[in-house]
Structure 1
Amino acid sequence: MLIETMADLSLLFYVFLTGLEMDASAFLRVGKKIMGIAVTGILIPMGIGIGLFFLLQKHAHNPAITEGCMFWAVALSITGFPVLTRILADLKLLHSDIGRIAMSVAMLNDMYAWVFIAVLVPVGVNLKTATFSIIAVIFFTLICFYVVRPTIERIIRHQYCSDKEHYNEYYPCFMLIGAMICGCITDAIGAHSIVGAFVFGLIIPKGDMVEELLDRLDCFVPGIMLPIFFASCGMRIDFTKIADSSSWFLVLLVICFACMAKILSSLIACFFFDMRLRDGVALGLLMNTKGILSLIILNVGWDEKILNDQYYVVMVVAILVMTSVVSPIMSAVYRPKSKGYIYGLRTVQRSKLDTELRVLSCVHTTRNVSGIISLLEVSHPTRLSPMTVFALHLVELTGRSSAMLIVHSTRRSAAHNPSRAQADSNLIINAFEAFENDNHLVTVQPLTAMSPYGTMHEDICSLAEDKRVALILLPFHKHLTVDGRMEDENADYRAINLNVLANAPCSVGLFVDRGLAGAVRACGPNDIVMCHFAMLFIGGPDDREALAYACRMVGDPRISLTVVRFLPGKEVVEMESAKNIIEVEEMLSDKQNNKRQNEIDENYINEFRLNTVDNESVRYIEKMVDNGEETVSAISAMDNSYDLYIVGKGTGTTSPLTLGLSEWSENPELGAIGDVLVSSSFALNSSVLVVQKYGSGDHKNEGRSPSFGVRRGEHFSSTIRQRVIGGFRSWQSSKMVLSDNDWPLGNG
């Protein structure tokens, strides 16, 4: 009796939390396809469940009463939404097409399940008074929505504005008492107590109080109290009862057909909604996931003596088998079809200036918004090269998985007192929409990803793959303080950045914001004041990608770009020559690769200079250095008036010009030069953008022609291009030696 009492109490609090996390308005926004799949996935399993019940009834020695077929049917048709989202997250299918369909269908199944519970329990308890009980439950629900909810809203709004501490301290206790009172009311009118607790949780206005309740109870109720309910379910199972009623073969047959019910319904839905057969089977497997609601329905039938021990055990075993086999079967047989064959523009260098540039901008908090938007603003979208920005707000998933859909499915909260995450999301979305309104060549699509920090990079990478973006912009994990130092904001942000850099399906830009927004705002469209950007070029795929992105900014009349190329001095050349003579065989492969990279760099720089020769806002500088120390000295000697430094990370490349810089690196993800620019000991307070090119480690497709400033119809033929560049290089070597002197290309 003690265990049963604690189990009922834990169940009441659990469904109360479920109601708190559920967004009732989301059910009004589902499409016809989702609604059709959900209805098919309920009616067909219900029919199969009723047939299996009577099949077992025919061969059982101790048959149950006829009303038990409805309990079997409902338990078989329900899909456990919280359990399903965890399985999808483990299978990396959470943001796939099949994952989104499965979660939407499971969400509708949850609502249908509560309707069935509200109707089924009064019918099972007493058929004569069932009509009165159902009508009473309907009136109770209407009173809760139209009387109790507005009253709670007014109390919360008044108390939150006047005394927030009092509100945080006592209101959670009142809410728990209200859940118990509502449970007692629905139990008294003939329904189950969990119906009242669920409805009360559903009407609570979403806001800080809901966050407070979830923070306080999210570990205690599911982690400590709910296992008592599962223990009570286990105590009712007696496998010897199965052998007494029928043969084991019949029981296994019933379990197998129960597992096939959802798969059959999904296959039927495939023919009506033009789904692939493979996706239909996968959806059916996912819909077999059962949760606590199925056990609740079976327990109600057992408590009311509608289901005897044999029928209870058979269905509980079937539910356990269905849920336990979903994850291993899905991981073994289902792989989402890769979209890589239609996704070629994975780098900025490949995205020519007459094609659309697609960027995925990630932000954690409102602190990151102004800098990211300013960086996008100076990227200079044009009529021939518009920009599509996917603004992704990254939110940590700390509660149960059912909270994921609530935040994901609502862009704006209609609550008077929205939660902190919703308020931040609204501010972020408003800022990006204002940026879109001010720039008619930019299309912004706000998104929200809610997942644990450990797997957040998977959501970012899969979204980048799905949206076919060329660049992912990530905020640095440190922010600028008032005294000019860089302070850690969240250590988990760094882990996310490292994982994205290692697994990204496109190029990645790591942005260190040191007040770029202020510099951009100071430059109006007709102002003489300009933003001064510097691109530091040492060589390699990442530096070429950084230069390609920097050249997109040149078209903005407010931007002046200085490209500083570091070249090896005489000591480096002599050292490399001596080293190659001594270690010819060991250095042959590296020498050939370095020679090829140097040729690509030289062609890339020459074409950049050729295409920007008439642009007075572009300057080109060459500096001769012999080692990493001289490189740092040359950077520190530059004018400290640059608002943004653009550098390549240097993935997969080794250069004597950065030798020794990585040994004392504080942030290896920024590369050798980027870490120097962000270092607290360095006297620069400019923003920094570190670019990593997709596939920079294998150097694929790096010999292709760059696209700096070349519009459609402006390409030279290969012969003329080679002659012009060759003559340009000959004139350069004969007329001047560029070292530390600035050379404005517009004066050439």
Structure 2
Amino acid sequence: MDSNATCPPPMKATSEGVFQGNNPLDYALPLVIVQICLVLVLTRVLAYLLKPLRQPRVIAEIIGGVLLGPSALGRNTDYLQTIFPKKSLPVLDTLANIGLLFFLFLVGLELDLTSLRRTGKKALSIAVAGISLPFILGICVSFILRATVSKGVNPGPFIVFMGVAMSITAFPVLARILAELKLLTTDVGKMAMSAAAVNDVAAWVLLALAVALSGSGRSPFVALWVFLCGSAFIFLCSFAIPPIFKWMSQRCPEGEPVDEVYVCATLGTVLAAGFVTDAIGIHALFGAFVVGVLIPKDGPFAAALVEKVEDLVSGLFLPLYFVSSGLKTNVASIQGVESWCLLGLIICAACLGKIAGTVVVSLWCNVPFSEALALGLLMNTKGLVELIVLNIGKDRGVLNDQTFAILVLMALVTTFITTPSVIAVYKPAKKPAKSEYKHRTVYRKGFSTGQFRMFFTFHGIRNLPTMINLIEASRGTGKKETLSVHAMHLMELTERSSAILMVHKARRNGSPFWKKNPNAGSDQIVVAFEAFKHLSKVSIRPTTAISAVSSMHEDICDEAETKKATMIILLFHKHPRLDGHLETTRAEYRHVNRKVLEHAPCSVSILVDRGFGGSSHVSASNVDSLVTVLFFGGHDDHEALAYGARMAEHPGINLVVVRLLLDQNVANSDSVSVEINEPPTDDDVIAEFKEKLLKSNTNKYVERTVKNASEAIEVIRDHTRCNLILVGRMPEGELVASMRKRSECPEMGPIGNLLISPELHVTASVLVVQQYHTQLSVHSLASLKEDGTSTDQGEYESN
């Protein structure tokens, strides 16, 4: 050894700045910041690019880590020594493992032991087959690898690591894929979730065994001591942790913030458990996972813990683990035909073991072949858990560089093919309607009052007061048997653990739309609905749909048809600011609204919420609202008028119907009239309305004849001093045709756009109504396809 050789000095935490001659990348903190930012940007860009392929985010993160390592960008030594120098790796690995520690805690929180205990024999058999056959094939493959690219490895740990690597099913990734494909509540989804949960627990037990065997202890009894101590740790935790955390959960009422002391105590427990399992010799991750599994999932405490931890861990620390793993993955180490043939062999063995084992046992359990094949493909999902197993094996010296790279690519390929292959082989049959579905519109001849099924959608508690006040106004005569209300809380499916907690609720209730247990603690939404039920005797059935924004409209339309809804009420994608102007809540909701308007099985309305009825629920006896219907003509206006007529039956609602007619003296005789001639005509509908509802002094009918669009706008302006305005989405007639100009939101129709434009200064809430038709008109469809972004800068023209 050269006596003059010196070890590089340890990195200091912070620099004194570039003006002092320091390079920030020579110091730990600035370098870690650059590393985090680099991986965040790369993985998010890759996730966006892979989104059309419906791939889970873990695919983008694994690929991003590999690209940053020696397989791609790391081939440039200057880049590698500048961004990921060897002296920075201990800091990087420490932060990555802290993130991983808390992520495994979240994974444990996602696993519901109660559901695990209820696992049926069928799912249990599938889980056992999904572990056993791949494990056996993994052992067989390990002998081939030891004879080729993994010569000289310790045979015991290597065999177990290969078996575990082949038999793992990534439960968190599987849950997100099932929710993305809307298979959660199918028989396939339920069995896959149950089997994957059993598989996950078994895999961690086997991994603990593999880690215990891979220790460098001098005596063979060391591995036995490690395994026994690990078992004793789990045994003690299973008695100590649940009662303590149940006590904490009971002291955290629903709707109130969780005490900081309890959160700190929990995080401290996670770290302490990690220290104990690391001291035992089975890796700190196991302690965190065990604590997460044993924490009771009922009540708000578990959800609050997830909310506190998930964004920081998943968004900031966990990406570093993918970099850490990617720096160890060198695809270039897979050299020669033999190595690439081994990669193909391992991928085939992994797929064959999972798919064949699952399919055979599923068929034995009388599962149809298409469902059995879908189950096999779903159980073949790998992910972060697989990466954790491989990294532990690499760190313990069980896997060399070439074997590690081969197994990382195997995990990537098997996870990547899951979604497209399941889509290709399995199409769940749509449940047929139980009986004939007749009342798809509010309008019925003669304005007769019949069964009215409202189907509300909402994204949070912001719009609850208006929603409840609109339901109150829609009660009509107060005969509760004529009004049925379903309210769907739309939740976006994300990579967050909180979304998976919602998935568990969906799974437990056997429906993609879960109902709160009345005996359990209720959230604010359910409390509001229960209070309204006691006051008005109208029952609101709250449900929740969890799906990606791109497919949220499918949940809405499918459930509306299942519930035989008369009208779906959507919320406008903008909300009012304090100055009265509208600002975008989320642009993605506009896409949802457009798709529902196009595919809805019944009438649809979009509510522009400006506080109808005030900021709280108004009791029936105190309702005093003025509702205006702007009537130009056409089917959508018929529907708006019918809904207004139903509201007018409420004693606290005053209805004003304003019909705008174009002066025939100035009508363009050369223009093509688009007025409807098939029954019922506009005159027929108005006559029916007058006969039915003008007997009451609280209802008024006004006819105004105008010469052009400017006069029509002035008439509309005169009648906007009310609480709610009802308009048809696509009115018909020459007058409306002259008002159909460029608009910011074409899906709202010409009058709807006028009422939300800042020029008119409308303070009333607006309900834009579309009547159901088996096929929308060409013009109506065109308005849903038109790109509103190109017209955002265009002002509404009135001449």
Q: TM-score surpassing 0.5? A: yes
CA distance in structure 2 between the aligned counterparts of 1:255 and 1:481, rounded to whole angstroms? 55
Q: Aligned to 1:547, which of 641, 665, 676? A: 641
Kindly indicate whether the alpha-carbon contact (under 8 Å) linking 2:176 and 2:500 is maintained by their aligned counterparts in 1.
Answer: no
CA distance in structure 1 between the aligned counterparts of 2:461 and 2:773, rounded to whole angstroms? 32
CA distance in structure 2 between the aligned counterparts of 1:359 and 1:111, rounded to whole angstroms? 44
Q: Aligned to 1:39, which of 115, 120, 124? A: 124
Assess, with a 3 A threshold, how the Cα gap between structure 1 residues 161 and 517 changes in structure 2: closer, same or farther.
closer
Assess, with a 3 A threshold, how the Cα gap between structure 1 residues 437 and 270 changes in structure 2: closer, same or farther.
farther
Does the alignment pair 1:474 with 2:536? no
CA distance in structure 1 between the aligned counterparts of 2:720 and 2:258, rounded to whole angstroms? 53
Instruction: Give TM-score scaled by structure 1 length.
Output: 0.73
Q: Counterpart amino acid of 1:295?
A: L
Where does residue 128 of structure 1 map in the other structure? 224
CA distance in structure 1 between the aligned counterparts of 2:665 and 2:774, rounded to whole angstroms? 28
The alpha carbon displacement at 1:287 in A equals: 1.9
The alpha carbon displacement at 1:200 in A equals: 5.1
The alpha carbon displacement at 1:211 in A equals: 3.4
Assess, with a 3 A threshold, how the Cα gap between structure 1 residues 5 and 350 changes in structure 2: closer, same or farther.
same
The alpha carbon displacement at 1:97 in A equals: 6.8
Where does residue 657 of structure 2 map in the other structure? 563
Structure 1 residues 714-734: Cα deviation after superposition (integer angstroms, max 9, x where no partner): xxxxxxxxxxxxxxxxxxxxx
Instruction: Give TM-score scaled by structure 2 length.
Output: 0.69
CA distance in structure 1 between the aligned counterparts of 2:547 and 2:691, rounded to whole angstroms? 46
SS state at 1:658 partner: helix
Where does residue 324 of structure 1 map in the other structure? 416
Assess, with a 3 A threshold, how the Cα gap between structure 1 residues 87 and 207 changes in structure 2: closer, same or farther.
closer
The alpha carbon displacement at 1:17 in A equals: 2.2
Assess, with a 3 A threshold, how the Cα gap between structure 1 residues 263 and 256 changes in structure 2: closer, same or farther.
same
Q: Counterpart amino acid of 1:372?
A: M
Report the more deviating stretch, 595-604 or 12-21.
595-604
CA distance in structure 1 between the aligned counterparts of 2:566 and 2:489, rounded to whole angstroms? 19
Q: Counterpart amino acid of 2:633?
A: G
Assess, with a 3 A threshold, how the Cα gap between structure 1 residues 556 and 597 changes in structure 2: closer, same or farther.
same
Where does residue 382 of structure 2 map in the other structure? 290
Assess, with a 3 A threshold, how the Cα gap between structure 1 residues 236 and 443 changes in structure 2: closer, same or farther.
same
Q: Aligned to 1:649, which of 723, 729, 733? A: 729
5 Å-filtered alignment, 1:479-494, equals: 479-480=575-576, 485-488=580-583, 490-492=585-587
Where does residue 26 of structure 1 map in the other structure? 112
Where does residue 183 of structure 1 map in the other structure? 274
Does the alignment pair 1:436 with 2:533? yes
Does the alignment pair 1:426 with 2:523? yes
The alpha carbon displacement at 1:212 in A equals: 4.4
Structure 1 residues 349-384: Cα deviation after superposition (integer angstroms, max 9, x where no partner): 489978654433222332200101111122227768
Report the more deviating stretch, 691-700 or 433-442.
691-700
5 Å-filtered alignment, 1:4-403, equals: 6-7=92-93, 10-20=96-106, 22-23=108-109, 26-29=112-115, 32=118, 35-36=120-121, 38-56=123-141, 62=147, 65=155, 68-85=158-175, 87-88=177-178, 91=181, 98=188, 102-103=192-193, 105-122=195-212, 125=215, 126-139=222-235, 141-142=237-238, 145=241, 181-199=272-290, 206=302, 210-234=306-330, 238=334, 243=338, 248=341, 252=344, 255-267=347-359, 270=362, 275-301=367-393, 304=396, 316-338=408-430, 344=437, 347-349=440-442, 356-380=451-475, 386-395=482-491, 400-403=495-498
Kindly indicate whether the alpha-carbon contact (under 8 Å) linking 2:242 and 2:294 is maintained by their aligned counterparts in 1.
Answer: no
Report the more deviating stretch, 611-620 or 213-222.
611-620
Where does residue 627 of structure 1 map in the other structure? 708
Q: Counterpart amino acid of 1:430?
A: V
SS state at 2:350 partner: helix
CA distance in structure 1 between the aligned counterparts of 2:449 and 2:365, rounded to whole angstroms? 38
The alpha carbon displacement at 1:57 in A equals: 6.1
CA distance in structure 2 between the aligned counterparts of 1:503 and 1:108, rounded to whole angstroms? 42
CA distance in structure 2 between the aligned counterparts of 1:505 and 1:104, rounded to whole angstroms? 34
CA distance in structure 2 between the aligned counterparts of 1:603 and 1:268, rounded to whole angstroms? 65
The alpha carbon displacement at 1:291 in A equals: 1.2
CA distance in structure 2 between the aligned counterparts of 1:357 and 1:405, rounded to whole angstroms? 34
Kindly indicate whether the alpha-carbon contact (under 8 Å) linking 1:78 and 1:113 is maintained by their aligned counterparts in 2.
Answer: yes
CA distance in structure 1 between the aligned counterparts of 2:479 and 2:117, rounded to whole angstroms? 35
Kindly indicate whether the alpha-carbon contact (under 8 Å) linking 1:391 and 1:445 is maintained by their aligned counterparts in 2.
Answer: yes
Does the alignment pair 1:508 with 2:588? no
CA distance in structure 2 between the aligned counterparts of 1:606 and 1:97, rounded to whole angstroms? 53
CA distance in structure 1 between the aligned counterparts of 2:114 and 2:475, rounded to whole angstroms? 40
5 Å-filtered alignment, 1:609-624, equals: 609-610=690-691, 612=693, 618-624=699-705
Where does residue 445 of structure 1 map in the other structure? 542
Q: Counterpart amino acid of 2:441?
A: V
Kindly indicate whether the alpha-carbon contact (under 8 Å) linking 1:144 and 1:200 is maintained by their aligned counterparts in 2.
Answer: no
Assess, with a 3 A threshold, how the Cα gap between structure 1 residues 255 and 516 changes in structure 2: closer, same or farther.
closer
Structure 1 residues 172-219: Cα deviation after superposition (integer angstroms, max 9, x where no partner): 8x9888755543321211322211233456678546675344333332
Kindly indicate whether the alpha-carbon contact (under 8 Å) linking 2:720 and 2:764 is maintained by their aligned counterparts in 1.
Answer: no
Assess, with a 3 A threshold, how the Cα gap between structure 1 residues 396 and 253 changes in structure 2: closer, same or farther.
closer
Kindly indicate whether the alpha-carbon contact (under 8 Å) linking 1:393 and 1:448 is maintained by their aligned counterparts in 2.
Answer: yes
Report the more deviating stretch, 287-296 or 687-696.
687-696
CA distance in structure 2 between the aligned counterparts of 1:440 and 1:678, rounded to whole angstroms? 34
CA distance in structure 2 between the aligned counterparts of 1:477 and 1:185, rounded to whole angstroms? 50
The alpha carbon displacement at 1:286 in A equals: 1.8
Assess, with a 3 A threshold, how the Cα gap between structure 1 residues 182 and 23 changes in structure 2: closer, same or farther.
closer
Report the more deviating stretch, 307-316 or 441-450.
307-316
**Percent of aligned pairs sharing the same letter:** 30
The alpha carbon displacement at 1:281 in A equals: 1.9
Where does residue 40 of structure 2 map in the other structure? none
The alpha carbon displacement at 1:647 in A equals: 1.1
Kindly indicate whether the alpha-carbon contact (under 8 Å) linking 2:633 and 2:675 is maintained by their aligned counterparts in 1.
Answer: no
Kindly indicate whether the alpha-carbon contact (under 8 Å) linking 1:627 and 1:656 is maintained by their aligned counterparts in 2.
Answer: no
Where does residue 63 of structure 2 map in the other structure? none
CA distance in structure 2 between the aligned counterparts of 1:272 and 1:129, rounded to whole angstroms? 40
CA distance in structure 1 between the aligned counterparts of 2:143 and 2:411, rounded to whole angstroms? 22
5 Å-filtered alignment, 1:710-729, equals: none
SS state at 1:283 partner: helix
CA distance in structure 1 between the aligned counterparts of 2:619 and 2:227, rounded to whole angstroms? 72
Q: Counterpart amino acid of 1:646?
A: L
Count of residue pairs the alignment pairs up = 657
CA distance in structure 2 between the aligned counterparts of 1:311 and 1:251, rounded to whole angstroms? 9
CA distance in structure 2 between the aligned counterparts of 1:154 and 1:557, rounded to whole angstroms? 45
Report the more deviating stretch, 110-119 or 457-466.
457-466
CA distance in structure 2 between the aligned counterparts of 1:270 and 1:331, rounded to whole angstroms? 19
Structure 1 residues 476-520: Cα deviation after superposition (integer angstroms, max 9, x where no partner): 34445666x234262436635654455442432211233423499
CA distance in structure 2 between the aligned counterparts of 1:654 and 1:89, rounded to whole angstroms? 41
Report the more deviating stretch, 536-545 or 331-340.
331-340
Does the alignment pair 1:404 with 2:482? no
CA distance in structure 2 between the aligned counterparts of 1:371 and 1:162, rounded to whole angstroms? 29
CA distance in structure 1 between the aligned counterparts of 2:439 and 2:116, rounded to whole angstroms? 33
CA distance in structure 2 between the aligned counterparts of 1:520 and 1:315, rounded to whole angstroms? 58
Residue segments in structure 1 that go unaligned for 5+ positions in a row: 412-423, 581-586, 703-748
Q: Cα RMSD (Å) of the superposition?
A: 4.7
Report the more deviating stretch, 530-539 or 348-357.
348-357
The alpha carbon displacement at 1:322 in A equals: 1.9
The alpha carbon displacement at 1:551 in A equals: 3.4
Report the more deviating stretch, 63-72 or 530-539.
63-72
Kindly indicate whether the alpha-carbon contact (under 8 Å) linking 2:457 and 2:489 is maintained by their aligned counterparts in 1.
Answer: yes
The alpha carbon displacement at 1:385 in A equals: 5.2
The alpha carbon displacement at 1:695 in A equals: 4.4
